[in-house]
Structure formats: C-alpha cells, structure tokens
Amino acid sequence: MRIALGADHAGYELKRLLRGFIADMGHEVTDMGCYDAQRVDYPDIGIALGSAVANGECDLGVLVCGTGIGMSIAANKVRGVRCALCGDAVSARFAREHNDANILALGARIIGDETAKAIVAAWLGAEFGGGRHAHRLDIIAQYENTEAAK
C-alpha cells in the first residue's frame, strides 16, 4: 500500500523510526514532512496529509505529534478522512475493523517506540469488517456532504 507519513517537530524522531518500519513491511512510504526538528505548526502537515489520503494520492496515512491530538483534529477536518488517535494496539485494530480509519494519529510524547510500532503493525494488519460498520460510516459521510457540515 501507499502510506503517507507526517509529523511536527514533536513527532519528527518517531516518524523517522516509523518510516523504516513501514517500508520494511513492504509498503511504499511518502514522507510529507517535517524534515528536521525545527518547530512547525501541526495543522499544516495534518491537513496536507489528510488531503493526500482523501484524494487518493495515498491509501493510508500516519500522523505523529506530541500527543496525537492536534494532528487528529486537523486531519479530521478534511472531508473523507477518518483519523483515529490510538495509544494501544487493540484500539488500532478496531479503528480499522470497525471504523475503517484511513489515518492513524500517534502521540510521540505519550507512547514509546515499541508501542508505536505495535500500534502501526496492528492497524496495517487489520481489515475493515464492512456490514453494519459500513452503514455507520455512511451516516458520517452523508453528514459531511450536508450544508450544515460546511
């Protein structure tokens, strides 16, 4: 799969580690920055990566910031994005199976490297279950296309 990776300065080091980890799993990785530890604004990265996933340039995305909260808020403003902030592998698996999360957000100041790798592996290894879960996502997608959501 084509996986987009993005981080702010707080997530920069973890992103570097995950870039190799995800590539070693056989995926094509697109690194959307940041490219050094200089301070940046997480919404710029989160919205750009969210757009790349929503428009089909990439299949899935992983965003990293200090807590993962800002990145998840920013990415979820992009229509079609279902970004899940996960701090454990079980939630990550369900995020894919039940919520078809197309972006995973991680908090580099909250979780360690090994936990981050376990979360990413669980998320990439899971599949969307469809059925009743798809119906619920349709409700969200329908709302996204209403005037009220603009």
Binding site for ligand RB5 (CB under 6 A): 8, 10, 42, 65-67, 69-70
Q: Which is nearer to ligand RB5, 32 or 65 (CB)?
A: 65
Q: How far is the CB of 146 from ligand RB5 (least distance, A)?
A: 28
Annotation says 98 is catalytic: yes
Q: Look at residue 7 and give its three-state secondary structure.
A: strand
Catalytic residue among 9, 27, 98, 133: 98
Q: How far is the CB of 72 from ligand RB5 (least distance, A)?
A: 8
Catalytic residue among 58, 65, 83, 86: 65
Q: Which is nearer to ligand RB5, 25 or 69 (CB)?
A: 69
Q: Give the pair of three-digit tokens for residue 45.
A: 């990265």
Q: Which amino acid is at 120?
A: V
Q: Is residue 103 exposed (0-12), middle (13-18) or buried (19+ Cβ within 10 Å)?
A: buried
Query: Helix 113-125 vs helix 12-24: angle between axes, to the nearest 10 degrees?
Result: 40
Q: What is the rounded CA–CA span in Å between residue 50 and residue 71?
A: 10
What phi and psi, each to the nearest 5 degrees, are found at residue 61?
A: -140, 155
Annotation says 65 is catalytic: yes
Q: Give the pair of three-digit tokens for residue 9.
A: 């300065």
Under 8 Å between Cβ of 12 and 37: yes
Q: How far is the CB of 103 from ligand RB5 (least distance, A)?
A: 15
Q: How far is the CB of 62 from ligand RB5 (least distance, A)?
A: 15
Residues that are catalytic: 65, 98
